[in-house]
């Protein structure tokens, strides 16, 4: 039997007043740079540009995923970084958010995922 505190951490970022969020090339760059900054392992990356605006993208990583959904009409991006393992550094993504999207305001929430209340068998 093993007692665990959590299996992973999920960081939820709401970024307001963003730039570049209707540019698919820069959204892909955001995902690629986020993976590198977290020291994660990229498995696949996919983006989709909506008409007339908005982009959704996800980077599947060995350690879980990083996703972004943009609403250019509100200058808003919803970003989700879910990682597991001791070697990844999900908070490093904040610098990538600031550099590529240049938001005026960021709110961040952290969730511990797979929290054990008791003992796993």
Active-site annotation holder among 34, 84, 116, 121: 84
Rounded Cα distance, 117 and 6, in Å:
10
Cβ atoms of 98 and 18 within 8 Å: the answer is no
Active-site annotation holder among 18, 69, 116, 121: 69
48 belongs to the catalytic site: no
84 belongs to the catalytic site: yes
Active-site annotation holder among 46, 64, 116, 121: 64
Cβ atoms of 4 and 106 within 8 Å: the answer is no
65 belongs to the catalytic site: no
Neighbouring-strand partners of residue 61: 42, 64
Query: Which residues are identified as catalytic?
Result: 64, 69, 84
């Amino acid at each position: 039997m093993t007692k665990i505190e959590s299996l992973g951490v999920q960081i939820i970022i709401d970024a307001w007043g963003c730039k570049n969020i209707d540019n698919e090339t820069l959204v892909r760059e955001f995902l690629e740079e986020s993976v590198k900054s977290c020291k994660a392992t990229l498995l696949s990356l996919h983006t989709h540009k909506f008409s007339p605006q908005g982009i959704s993208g996800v980077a599947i990583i060995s350690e879980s995923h990083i996703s972004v959904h943009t609403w250019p009409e509100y200058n808003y991006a919803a970003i989700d970084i879910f990682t597991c393992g001791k070697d990844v550094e999900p908070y490093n993504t904040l610098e990538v958010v600031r550099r590529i999207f240049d938001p005026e305001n960021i709110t961040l929430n952290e969730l511990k995922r797979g929290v054990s209340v008791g003992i796993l068998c």
